[in-house]
Structure 1
Amino acid sequence: MFAALVAALAVGLGLVAFGAWRQGIVLLGAALVLGSAVRAVLPEARAGLLRVRGKAFDCGWMLVLGAALVTLAFVVPRGFTG
């Protein structure tokens, strides 16, 4: 599961790098929210590299960061080129 999350993050970064920044940011945020959900349901012994600190910290931080990225993608007006 960790590999799938890393793959989604890599694809999202690729989209951002090649100009489709809005879709890339949404994918990055969604991957972090999914990672938060996966970390919440996996037992400590199976969390693997998703386990950095305590379960509450890991889940909370990924959820907040993912939600912030998705919100950012929808808040920035269309036509914004940077």
Structure 2
Amino acid sequence: MTTPRRGRGGPLVAHLPFAIVLLLVAVAGVRIWQYHWRQGAVIIGAALLIAAVQRAVLSDEQAGLLAIRGRPVDVLSYAGLGVLVLFIAFTITGGPFG
């Protein structure tokens, strides 16, 4: 019995979009740990928007772990949360941006 292959790049390429988002969230975590929480929040919001764009552009197989539900629900969820996090980060007074 043979196992089906997921594209030419194998399983690692399918997880690359999620790895990009996860790397950005890790960078945001470092900024938050360094007491620059607003910059960290902006990076997290940007990571969610990047996830939305990747989910909109890539196929279900290429999106890998970013594909949770249907494409429209995923794109709206990622984009909505990203905009909400950015709105909160930019409107709260004080911190390094204020």
1:14 aligns with 2:30: yes
How high is the sequence identity, in percent, across the aligned residues?
37
Q: Which runs of 4+ in 1 moved over 3 A?
A: none
Higher helix share: 1
Question: What's the offset of the Cα at 1:70?
Answer: 0.6
Aligned to 1:58: 74
Count residues in correspondence: 80
Structure 1: give runs of 5+ residues left out of the alignment. none
Paired position in structure 1 for 2:44:
28
TM-align CA RMSD: 1.4
Report the CA distance between 1:23 and its aligned residue: 0.3
Match of 2:94 among 69, 78, 82: 78
Using the TM superposition, name which of 54-63 and 13-22 deviates more: 13-22
Q: Return the letter of the residue paired with 1:30.
A: A
**Which shows bigger deviation, 7-16 or 22-31?**
7-16
CA distance in 2, matches of 1:44, 1:7: 21
Higher gyration radius (CA): 2
For residues 11-52 of structure 1, the C-alpha deviation after alignment (integer angstroms, 9 at most, x for no partner) is: 112211221001000000000001100000001221110000
With normalisation by structure 2, the TM-score equals 0.76
